[in-house]
């Protein structure tokens, strides 16, 4: 039995329960991992509230890092004693230990700490697919990144700079804008002070607009994001922090310059074992080289998971947040 955070019904952070949960031996294609730290992500909020419904009761959390304790039949890329990290389905990372599918669990290099591993996998693999698996991007291109001081945002600022891509960020305070600039954003717009921020983006791009928008804010920024794109530009809507994007007419994309739009999820990109491991190797390489630094600004104990969710939903966090086990 291990300490585990579950929900029995959807709702607010008060719905979390910390229980003793059974953990057994791994079956074929599975491992048992003993966590040192777990990650906190907005998808956890969506699952807790029911925006992404789950069959209940269910353990929570999508990301963790620790040591492999046992390996099931057929698992060849991990062995007992290996350091490992993952972002993977099904939920269940908010715990001391768990049995889980091995395919998306990745060997963690020694130079990367467990806390960094737990903080980086979901957001880092998301950053990897945004820049390398969604639409072609090359040095000299321009990207608008909404909420650039958030967990994915600070990684994206660094990733863009490392590849010669100009990133224009947005954030809700001057302090968050400064943080994005420190991490490699070329410009950052405080959209609480600049009412017509799409016009500012146009100004910064000499009237042309950006090649790609990466937007996980959702409803509040969607229309403005479309207005920032140059003709034939790509809108990547990859989250709903302010609520789901409302229905809109596809004709809008034609009227605004034959725009393209996609709504990707990480779990499609990492569904194949080989793809996931390759993406992780690129991410680990960026971190090990120093091109991307993992900034952990908040840490909560597993017992204080409700406080961690309240801080995340109130937009009181910057960088990455971990739960210590």
Of the three residues 263, 288, 314, the one that is the final residue of a domain is 263
Q: Is the pTM of this model over 0.85?
A: yes
255 with 144, same domain? yes
With a cut of 90, say whether residue 280 has pLDDT above it: yes
**Domain termination residue (choose one: 229, 248, 263):** 263
CATH code of 256's domain: 3.40.50.720
Same domain, 253 and 281: no
Q: Is residue 129 part of a domain?
A: no
Tell me what pLDDT residue 318 has: 79
* Rounded Cα gap, residues 71 and 227, in angstroms: 50
Task: Count Cβ atoms within 10 A of the Cβ of residue 170 and give its class: 0-12 exposed, 13-18 middle, 19 or more buried.
Answer: buried
Residue 89 and residue 24 share a domain: yes
Look up the CATH number of the domain holding residue 316.
Answer: 3.90.180.10
**130 part of a folded domain:** no
User: Is residue 256 a part of any domain in this protein?
Assistant: yes
- pLDDT tens for each residue of 182-200: 999 999 999 989 999 999 9
- Per residue in 127-186, pLDDT (tens digit) is 999 999 999 999 999 999 999 998 899 999 999 999 999 999 999 999 999 999 999 999
In whole angstroms, what is the distance from residue 217 CA to residue 232 CA?
Answer: 22
Running DSSP on this structure, what letter comes out for residue 8? S
Q: How many domains does the chain have?
A: 2
46-50, 69-73, 157-161, 163-167: range with lowest mean pLDDT: 46-50
The whole domain housing 207 covers 135-263
């Amino acid at each position: 039995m291990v300490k585990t955070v579950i929900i029995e019904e959807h709702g607010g952070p008060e719905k979390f329960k910390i229980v003793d949960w059974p953990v057994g031996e791994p079956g074929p294609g599975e491992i048992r991992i003993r966590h040192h730290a777990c990650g906190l992500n907005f998808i956890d909020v969506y699952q807790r509230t029911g925006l992404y419904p789950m069959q209940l009761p269910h353990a929570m959390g999508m990301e963790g890092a620790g040591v492999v304790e046992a390996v099931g039949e057929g698992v060849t890329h991990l062995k007992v004693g290996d350091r490992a990290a993952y972002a993977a389905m099904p939920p269940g990372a908010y715990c001391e230990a768990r049995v889980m599918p091995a395919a998306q669990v990745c060997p963690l290099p020694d130079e990367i700490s467990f806390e960094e591993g737990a903080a980086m996998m979901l957001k880092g693999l998301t950053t990897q697919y945004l820049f390398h698996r969604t639409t072609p991007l090359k040095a000299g291109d321009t990207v608008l990144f909404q909420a650039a001081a958030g967990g994915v945002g600070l990684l994206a600022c660094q990733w863009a700079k490392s590849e010669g891509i100009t990133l224009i960020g947005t954030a809700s305070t001057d302090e968050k804008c400064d943080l994005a600039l420190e991490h490699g954003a070329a410009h950052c717009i405080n959209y609480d002070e600049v009412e017509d921020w799409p016009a500012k983006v146009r100004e910064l791009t000499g009237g042309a607009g950006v090649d790609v928008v990466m937007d996980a804010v959702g409803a509040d920024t969607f229309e403005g994001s479309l207005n920032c794109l140059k003709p034939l530009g790509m809108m990547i809507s990859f989250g709903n922090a302010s609520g789901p994007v409302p229905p809109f007419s596809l004709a809008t994309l034609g009227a605004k310059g034959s725009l393209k739009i996609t709504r990707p999820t990480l779990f499609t990109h990492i569904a194949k074992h080989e793809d996931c491991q390759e993406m992780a190797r690129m991410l680990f390489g960026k971190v090990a080289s120093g091109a991307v630094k993992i900034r952990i600004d908040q840490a909560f104990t597993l017992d204080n998971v409700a406080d961690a969710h309240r801080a995340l939903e109130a937009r009181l966090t910057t960088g990455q947040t971990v739960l210590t086990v």
